Amino acid sequence: MTTVKGDCNRKLGCDTVTIENTDLKYSINVDTYIANTFSALHISPLIVENDLFDDLIQMMLKIKGSESLGQRKGFLAFTAYRASPQSLSANEVVKFDKVWTNNGDGYDPSSGVFTAPKAGLYHFAAVVMSANGKFLFLRLYHNNAKITSSYVNDKRYKTGTFDVVLTLVNGDKVSIKSGGNNQSIYSDSEYYSTFSGNLIAM
């Protein structure tokens, strides 16, 4: 059940509205919200009708409710990175051994492998940097199937990228592996090499 407290759900010019439902309670500064919203739309708040104002309040409530629902379901996402180089032999997994985000605990920084906690459509992206003056040949795998590759070769540091959408079932694995021997992926305290993924649909 949702309730709107205060005398400003039917008129403009008051200070604060408190909105409550079973999942959340929050207050908004009405004057600030209206000024910011209609300034962005190049519309004067003086021409806003009562019904439109009520619609705006309900829109904000729906947005907040969606955010709360997403938090309750535990949105699946991870971003991992390296803070140091890694030497690679053929077919060795790149271990992005530091983690910023790991909602759902699908990514294992000790192995460099993401394991899908549930079935769905996932988006994966990675940025990988070669050592100075060295080539870097990497492949992204879905279980044991090669999906795509990245190859860079330059006299300086160079970055390659991955960007794919995959349909996974529960327990499927995604990883990035070396495509050759005697390679090195570069990173340092600037975190040049990262690996991310998230569930986008079920």
Domain limits, the chain: 14-47, 77-201
Note the pLDDT tens digit of each residue in 91-112.
Answer: 999 999 999 999 999 999 999 9
Note the pLDDT tens digit of each residue in 20-59.
Answer: 544 544 444 545 554 555 455 454 444 445 565 566 566 6
pTM for this model (two decimals): 0.65
Mean pLDDT of the chain: 79
Q: Which amino acid is at 94?
A: V
CA-closest candidate to residue 127, choices 96, 99, 162: 162
Q: How far is it, in rounded angstroms, from Cα 189 to Cα 185? A: 14
User: What is the H or E stretch that residue 129 is in?
Assistant: strand 120-130
Q: Could you tell me how far CA 183 lies from the centroid of its own chain?
A: 29
Q: How far is it, in rounded angstroms, from Cα 108 to Cα 126? A: 16
How many other C-beta atoms lie within 10 A of the C-beta of residue 105? 12
Q: What is the mean pLDDT of residues 159-171?
A: 97
| Domain 77-201 top-level CATH class | mainly beta
CA-closest candidate to residue 117, choices 80, 175, 168, 72: 168
Q: How far is it, in rounded angstroms, from Cα 123 to Cα 165? A: 4
- Say how many CA atoms lie within 13 Å of 154 toward its Cβ: 11
